[in-house]
Every structure is written in structure tokens, then in C-alpha cells.
Amino acid sequence: MRSSSSLVLLVVAWVLAPLCVVAVFARSEITDTTRFVATMSPLASNPAVQDAASNRITDLVVQQLDVPSLVAQASQALAGTRVPPKAAAALQGLLAGPVTNGVTSLVHTVSQKVVTSSAFATVWTGAIRTAHTAVNNVLSGKKSAALQLQGNNVVLQLGPAVDQVKQQLVARGLGAASHIPTVNSTFTLFTSSEVAKIQTGYRLLNAVGNWLPLITVLIAAGGVMLAARRRRALVAAALGVAVGMLVLGIGLAAARHIFLDHLPADSSEPAAAAIFDQLVFFLRHTVRAVGVLGLVVALGAYAGGSGRYAVLVRGKCRLGIAWLRDRSGFGLGPVGPWVHRFKRWVLLAVLLLAALALALWTYPTGWVVFWLTVVVLGAVAVVEFLDAPGTVDEPPAAAVAGGL
């Protein structure tokens, strides 16, 4: 009965582990302004996003300029001079293409300069920081000044960028740009028919995000405590978490492929890919960190067990450290017996300090887990080096009596 209950709890913990990671990621992006800015601000410097935004702004400005009307006005002005009407009409036909191409090229150059400037990145980051609720608004269906959800489209307001292009075009001598009215157009970042489902999942994860990690850990701990072989159960629990992270990572890769395959025909695939990768950037780091932690815990539990290879490795390490201690000639004094007496408590304190450091680390990565593991192994080696029973000789009873 105990073994069956332990297995059930461990399976539940394995299933909850990926959901726990997603829930923590979702809550951190919503509640931590610095985290959200770090996620979204690099998009302002992404070449694919810059190109897509520049092309969209160019189309909007050229439409507002009405280049064919400008060419017609030029032809009418020529008709009022001594130029023959047929020649004026011919000039209008000849000028239409080059003038349109020239104006479009100029507008695109200015637009590209605007979206690649540091000022645009600063405005982008400032808007994200002051409107940190944008992602929450997208998922909850509320409205936001910069980022909105319209049906199944996540859109970005382009009005401020168009205003900057308008000002620079006027400064370069294109006076017609001053007549461009205020543009409230949007740029669709991505379209998905699954937005409603994502919103429902978001609300659920947001509700349980605070408690799900703790519940998962308690369930896993219960499964380990009920097991007949607790060390083996701990190894299984940790490996199950690592496998869950592997599955989640594969799921993210598959979701990216599906997302890009279902983009509308007029969407920019490089820009959409950049946006998706940036949105899940920190989620991927969390997946790797938890996966590495699962492997480390599994290896540590196995190495501390009674398995043949575990005992062999521990024995070799102890012999090597003892040899190093004997050759160093380092006098331990009363430290050796004390460490030998309280060795288990010292090792437990090392593990607890490492666990506390990992728990207090704001957003640990796989490398953070790796280097914490290296530090723990180094501390264990130091404790083993100091573990020298009997390094202080007991004084003979006669000498003690004479001294008294």
C-alpha cells in the first residue's frame, strides 16, 4: 500500500512539474516589471522586427502622401506654362513611376533610421516600463495604449513612430509630409486562433501560480517519504522532473514550429519568430535550470547510496583526499576530531545553505545550478579533508594526575 501510494504521488509530481514552471514564468512576467522589460525591450533592437515595423510605417506614410496626386499637380503646373499639353501629359506618365519610387525609397530610409535609432529603443523601453500591464491586458482582453488584443490579433500601435517619420521627412524638405494626418494604425505582431484558450489557461495558472510550486514539492516529498526505499524514490522523483523539463522544452520547440506554420500570408515570419523566441526566452532558461537541478539531485542521491559504483567512487575520493591530507603535513589540531564527530551535521548545513541560496536566487539559470553544485562538491571535499579522527593525542592518565 505504501509503495502504491508513493508511486501515485510521484507520478502526480512529475505531471505538475512542467505546469509549475509555466505558472511561475507567467506570474513573474506579470508581477515583475524589471523581468517584463528585460523580456520585451530587446525586440526594439531586433533586425527582423525593425524591418517589419519599417515596412509597415513606409506603407502608411506613402498612402497618406498620395504620390499620384502630387505628380498630377506637377503636370497641371507644367500645363500652365508654355509646355505643350501632350508633352505635359507625357511627362506625367514618365514621372509617375520614378517619383513614386523615389518618395517610397526616401520614406523607407527615414523609417529605417527612426526604428533603428537609440531614441526609438528608449521610447520602446519606456513605454513597456510604464505600461507593464500590457501582457496582462492582452491575455485578459483589456485595452492598453501600446499593446492590444483585437479579436485573435496581438497588435502594436504605430502612431508615435509615424509621427517621428513625418517630422524627419519635413526636415528633409518633403513639405507634403506635413499634411499627413494623425495615424492611429496598428501593426499586427501575431495572429492566433488559440488566443481564447491561452487566456483561459493564463487565468487558471495565475490563480494557482503562488501555491503550485509548494504543492508540487510537498507531493514529491510525500512520495519519497512513503517509499520503502526512499533514496531510490528520491532518484526517481528527480529524474522524473528532469524528463518533464525535457518534454516541456520539446513542446516549446513544437509550439514555435506550429505557430510559424499558421501565420497569415502577409505576416513577417522572421519578425514573428523573433517575437516568439523573445517571449519564451526566460521560460527556456527556467526549463534548463530545473532540468539541471533534477539531474544534480538524482546524481547526488545515487552517489550517497549503497550502490556498487556509488560506494566505489566515494571510497576512491576519500582515499585521494586522505592521501593529500597526509602529504600536506597540515596540522588540524582539535578541528579534525570535531569535524569527525559532527560530520553529518556539517554536510547537512552545507546542503541547506546551497538550497537556501538557490531558493533566494531571483531567477536561477542552468549555469547557476551548475556552479552551486561545484561549490557544494568543493565544500564536501573540504569537510572530508578536515575529517581526521584522533589527530589530538590523549594525555596519559599519570600525566594528568601529576598535573593536578
Assign 186 a pLDDT band (cuts: 50, 70, 90).
low
Residue 172 has pLDDT above 80, yes or no: no
pLDDT above 80 for 204: no
Stronger pLDDT, 141 or 215, i.e. the higher one: 215
User: How far are the Cα atoms of 157, 175, 189, 350 from residue 148, in angstroms, in the given order?
Assistant: 8, 33, 10, 49
- Specify the length of the chain in residues: 404
The predicted model scores a pTM of: 0.66
Considering 94-108, 149-163, 295-309, the range whose residues carry the highest mean pLDDT is 295-309
Interatomic CA distance for residues 336 and 386, integer angstroms: 5
Pick the range with the lowest mean pLDDT from 144-148, 336-340, 370-374.
Answer: 144-148
Do the Cβ atoms of 107 and 165 come closer than 8 Å? yes
Give the per-residue SS3 of the chain.
CHHHHHHHHHHHHHHHHHHHHHHHHHHHHHHCHHHHHHHHHHHHHCHHHHHHHHHHHHHHHHHHHCHHHHHHHHHHHHHCCCCCHHHHHHHHHHHHHHHHHHHHHHHHHHHHHHHCCHHHHHHHHHHHHHCCCHHHHHHHCCCCCCEEEECCEEEEECHHHHHHHHHHHHHCCCHHHHHCCCCCCEEEEEECCCHHHHHHHHHHHHHHCCCHHHHHHHHHHHHHHHCCCHHHHHHHHHHHHHHHHHHHHHHHHHHHHHHHHCCCCCCCHHHHHHHHHHHCHHHHHHHHHHHHHHHHHHHHHHHCCCCHHHHHHHHHHHHHHHHHHHHHCCCCCCHHHHHHHCHHHHHHHHHHHHHHHHHHCCCCCHHHHHHHHHHHHHHHHHHHHHCCCCCCCCCCHHHHHHHC
pLDDT number for residue 401: 37
| C-alpha grid cell, residue 132 | 507593464
* Percentage, residues of the chain above pLDDT 90: 22
Beta carbons within 10 angstroms of residue 301's beta carbon: 21
Average pLDDT over residues 111-137: 71
Q: Between 168 and 359, where is the model more confident?
A: 359
Crossing angle between the packed helical segments 85-115 and 159-171, to the nearest 10 degrees: 120
Q: Is the pLDDT score of 379 beyond 70?
A: yes
Kindly provide the b/e burial profile for residues 244-260, where b requires at least 16 CB atoms within 10 angstroms of the residue's own CB. Answer: bbeebbeebeeeeeebe
**127 compared with 313, residue with greater pLDDT:** 313
- Rounded average pLDDT over 38-64: 80
Q: Reply yes or no on whether the pLDDT at 321 is more than 90.
A: no
Which cell numbers in the block locate residue 215? 504543492
Which position has the higher pLDDT, 126 or 164?
126
Mean pLDDT (the chain) is: 77
Nearest Cα neighbor of 114 from 104, 123, 103, 105 is 123
Q: 109 or 251: whose pLDDT is higher?
A: 251
For the ranges 42-51, 168-177, 230-239, the one whose mean pLDDT is highest: 230-239
Q: Given a cut of 90, is residue 211 above it in pLDDT?
A: no
Under 8 Å between Cβ of 188 and 154: yes
Residue 48: per-residue pLDDT: 83
Amino acid occupying residue 357: A
Who has greater pLDDT, 194 or 56?
A: 56
pLDDT at 404: 35
In one letter, which amino acid is 93? G
pLDDT recorded at residue 370: 93
In this structure, which amino acid lies at residue 307?
G
Q: Residue 113: its pLDDT value, please?
A: 81
The three grid cell numbers given for residue 398, joined into one nine-digit string: 599519570
Task: Please give the pLDDT value at position 375.
Answer: 94
Between residues 350 and 24, the one the model is more confident about: 350
Buried b or exposed e, range 374-397, using 16+ CB within 10 angstroms: eebeebbeebbbbbbeebeeeeee
Give the lowest-confidence range in 12-26, 262-276, 334-348, 353-367. Answer: 262-276
Do residues 120 and 161 lie in contact, with contact meaning Cβ atoms separated by under 8 Å? yes
Rounded Cα distance, 251 and 359, in Å: 26
Q: How confident is the model at residue 88 (pLDDT cuts 50, 70, 90)?
A: low
Show Cβ contacts of residue 293 under 8 Å, excluding neighbours closer than 6 positions: 241, 358, 369
Q: Give the C-alpha separation, 169 to 109, whole Å.
A: 10
Least confident among 158-162, 180-184, 395-399: 395-399
Residue 63 pLDDT exceeds 50: yes
Which cell numbers in the block locate residue 277?
523566441
pLDDT of residue 398: 41
Q: In this prediction, what percent of the chain has a pLDDT beyond 70?
A: 68
Q: How confident is the model at residue 145, as a pLDDT?
A: 46
